[in-house]
Amino acid sequence: MATRMILGAIRKRSVSTLVIAEHEGGTIKAPSVSAVAAAKSLSDDSSISLLLAGSGPSLHEAASHAASCHPSVSQANPLLTNKFKNPLAEPWAKLVHLVQQSGGYSHIIAASNSFGKNVIPRAAALLDVSPITDVTGISESHTFVRPIYAGNALSTVRYTGANPCVLTIRSTSFPVPQKSVDSKVDQAPISQVDLSTFDEDHDKSRYISHTSQDSERPDLGNARIVITGGRALKSAENFKMIEKLANKLGAAVGATRAAVDAGFVPNDLQVGQTGKIVAPELYMAFGVSGAIQHLAGMRDSKVIVAVNKDADAPIFQVADYGLVGDLFEVIPELLEKLPEKK
């Protein structure tokens, strides 16, 4: 009995996690803070290190933020390297491999966004382990819940491979209370990654440029309100109604794949199985049929409102509030009646 208890304690203590962290403007991005929250739920006793990279003063600000972005990082070492200015997947995967060799972590976690999905499979291949992707629940350090069949079923999987156990997590399933992100906790020490043995030969990909849209709207993946338009909008010009409504409500804009394919909006606004997964407090869908691939990306939203002129549209099966009507009448009316955002 005593032996079993001691072994249990040793197993618990042996959880040490490397979180692959993204940062912008000197702060750790919210999905990476969710990855820390996921790391924390592996074990009460887990030690958590953040790996971040970049250059200039914002990297140092982000490193300070990394050290205090979540209470559970307070005892850990954020690792810092000023190379990797541009987030290319191949060198990043090599960096993760290098850091794992020296750190011997039991787990490596990244958010399941474009960056994480790009880096993690490459890093897992270099480490010769099989990654577990899109984790939405952690029941113990090697047992995870993940959606299958476009979110229509949940499967519980147990990782039985060698260390490290490599995961991507859905950030919407590991929310971080705003307080804990902002709270001032004792800063964890910041250490520089030793890159002396790093092989710089990674010419399979080359950085060319980075474009980002300057928008005051919240990020689609973390917004409290998302206003989505579908094919029924008919044109990019008409889609501006959705944008106006989003501006009034301080919301992010989403789109169906049909709307993206028709060229109404860029594809980074796509919500669904092959787009972004969102779970806002309020999701409003205008002229969206509710195809299974779209539902896979938004069905966990707290309140779903749908406007569709077809009373039999499948979106009404998941909607909390439905309005059978023409969006070309409903949206102008909403725009007229809603107060301007302060």
Which spans of this chain sit near ligand FAD (rule: CB under 6 A)?
A: 230-232, 256-259, 270-275, 287-289, 291, 293-294, 297, 307-310, 313, 326-328
DSSP string, 242-296: HHHHHHHHT-EEEE-HHHHHTTSS-GGGBBSTTSB----SEEEEES----HHHHH
171 is in an annotated binding site: no
- CB-based contact 42:14 (threshold 8 Å): no
Q: Please, which residues have CB within 8 angstroms of residue 54's CB and are 6 or more apart in sequence? A: 23, 62, 82, 84, 85
Pick 130 or 328: Cβ nearer ligand FAD = 328
Q: What's the closest the beta carbon of residue 240 comes to ligand FAD, in angstroms?
A: 16
274 is in an annotated binding site: yes
How many Cβ atoms from other residues are within 10 Å of residue 184's Cβ? 6
231 is in an annotated binding site: yes
Q: Tell me the pairing of strands 252-255 and 191-192.
A: unpaired
Residue type, 89: A
287 is in an annotated binding site: yes
Pick 245 or 288: Cβ nearer ligand FAD = 288
Q: What's the closest the beta carbon of residue 269 comes to ligand FAD, in angstroms?
A: 10
Residue appearing with tokens 């594809």 = 267
- CB-based contact 122:95 (threshold 8 Å): no
Pick 127 or 288: Cβ nearer ligand FAD = 288
206 is in an annotated binding site: no
Query: In angstroms, rounded to a whole number, what is the distance separating the alpha carbons of residues 17 and 338?
Result: 46
Pick 92 or 283: Cβ nearer ligand FAD = 283
101 is in an annotated binding site: no
Q: At what angle do helices 89-103 and 114-127 cross, to 10 degrees?
A: 50
Q: What's the closest the beta carbon of residue 265 comes to ligand FAD, in angstroms?
A: 11
60 is in an annotated binding site: no
Q: What's the closest the beta carbon of residue 314 comes to ligand FAD, in angstroms?
A: 8
Q: Which residues of 225-256 are buried (b: 16+ CB within 10 A; e: fewer)?
A: bbbbbbbbbeeeebbebbbbbbbebebbbbbb
Pick 7 or 335: Cβ nearer ligand FAD = 335
27 is in an annotated binding site: no
Q: What's the closest the beta carbon of residue 79 comes to ligand FAD, in angstroms?
A: 34
Pick 166 or 291: Cβ nearer ligand FAD = 291
DSSP summary character for residue 64 = H
Pick 96 or 260: Cβ nearer ligand FAD = 260
Q: At what angle do helices 236-249 and 327-337 cross, to 10 degrees?
A: 30
- The residue at minimum Cβ distance from ligand FAD is 272
Q: What's the closest the beta carbon of residue 20 comes to ligand FAD, in angstroms?
A: 24
Q: What's the closest the beta carbon of residue 300 comes to ligand FAD, in angstroms?
A: 15
* Cβ contacts of 316-320, under 8 Å, gap ≥ 24: 316/290, 317/290, 318/290, 319/285
11 is in an annotated binding site: no
Which residues are annotated as part of the binding site for FAD? 231, 256-257, 270-274, 287-294, 308
